[in-house]
A and B are shown apart, each in its own frame.
Chain A
Amino acid sequence: MKLLNGLSLFLIAMVCTLSAASAQAGPQSTATLMSCMTNPPTTSYQMLAVEDGFELHVFHHNGTKYMPIHSGTITPNDFELLKKRADYLQQMGSSAKIFFKTSECKNEGPVWKCFSKRSLKLRDLQAEGVSFHMVPRQTSTNNYTFHSMDTFLSFRQKEGHIQYDITSSYSFDKRDCIER
């Protein structure tokens, strides 16, 4: 009897612990719809179907020092801005989950566009809104065509009446982005 009581208490404790963990993790993930992962893994995005919407999982496999903070041409004059952007974006940590309602996303195959005007906090990163969008790009030189998928993860900032986005952009090889 004592053994049964002990087992019951253990099971109740386990159920309570799992329920608490589930509540902290947010919506329960059900299925991966899209993933982009560099090869070897450095930065990954995964879009999952969850209750009432979608959840974007962001991974910086080598830590935040190696998360993309810019894509394109830079000049010495850009350093101050790049340092501020790096400091801000690194606050999200090496992994983050961002929830979008069903109505905030649309997709055509593996190409997703999501936008939320709700404020959010990812570890120490705070934003007044968030968007994630993908754009397929094709570039050709004389004898070679390269297909890529540009991704933009933007965090909306508000300073008085001024609004602007701080964006982590990265260009994946198209083959690294898969519709599931």
Chain B
Amino acid sequence: MIEEDSDGFLFHIVYHNGVDYIPIHNGDVVAADLPNLIKRAERLKKMGTHATFRFKKEKCSSEGLYWRCYQGKPVEVGSSDVLLAGFAMGRLESNYNGFKWVSTETFLFLDFKEENLTLTQSYPEGSCRSR
């Protein structure tokens, strides 16, 4: 959720079902990935169920529904040591053996001192709206 105020944009992330349901990875997984994914999960769970970042106005751009923001400073991130955040959205059209649908793909980029993480989440058409 993106809110505008006099200082720029506030970007909220809410995990409605708790931190055990944070989408920590999207893609192929092999058994050898599990230890790293568990570490990643522990790191991300520290953000809590509601995290907020602030982006300056000049650090964001939008084309209709689709936003891109970078260098967001943490406002409320629980006990996480995240330093910066970025965010991007895009439209994706899929055709699965003749069955077609449209989705909005979101990318949350989180910079930590020693690593950068990207969290992707796919939303069905209609789930993302401009207010």
Contact = CB atoms under 8 A, between A and B. Distances in A.
Nearest to A66: B30
Given A76-B22, A76-B45, A68 B30 contact: yes
Interface stretch (A26-34, A133-141, A157-165): A133-141
B28 interface: yes
B81 interface: no
Contact of A74 (B23, B94, B97): B23
A79 B30 contact: no
Interface size class of B (residues with CB under 8 A): 20 to 34
Given A74-B23, A74-B24, A67 B30 contact: yes
Central interface residue in A67, A76, A79, A135, by most chain B CB within 10 Å: A76
B13 interface: no
Contact of A139 (B28, B37, B93): B93
Interface string B75-108: 0000000000000001111111100000000000
A72 to B, nearest CB: 7
B57 interface: no
A82 B20 contact: no
A44 interface: no
Interface residues of A, number: 29
Given A76-B20, A79-B34, A86-B34, A70 B28 contact: yes
B26 interface: yes
A139 B92 contact: yes
B21 A75 contact: yes
A35 interface: no
B71 interface: no
Nearest to A77: B20
A66 to B, nearest CB: 5
Given A76-B22, A82-B29, A83-B34, A141 B90 contact: yes
B116 interface: no
A24 interface: no
Contacts of B96: 135, 137-138
Nearest to A85: B31
Contact of A137 (B28, B38, B94): B94
Interface string A121-138: 000000000000001111
B19 interface: yes
A39 B120 CA distance: 24
26 contacts: A66-B30, A67-B31, A68-B30, A70-B29, A71-B28, A73-B23, A73-B25, A73-B120, A73-B122, A74-B25, A76-B20, A76-B21, A76-B22, A76-B41, A76-B45, A77-B20, A77-B21, A79-B34, A82-B34, A90-B31, A137-B97, A138-B94, A139-B94, A140-B94, A141-B90, A142-B91
Interface of A: 64-77, 79, 82-83, 86, 90, 135-142, 170-171
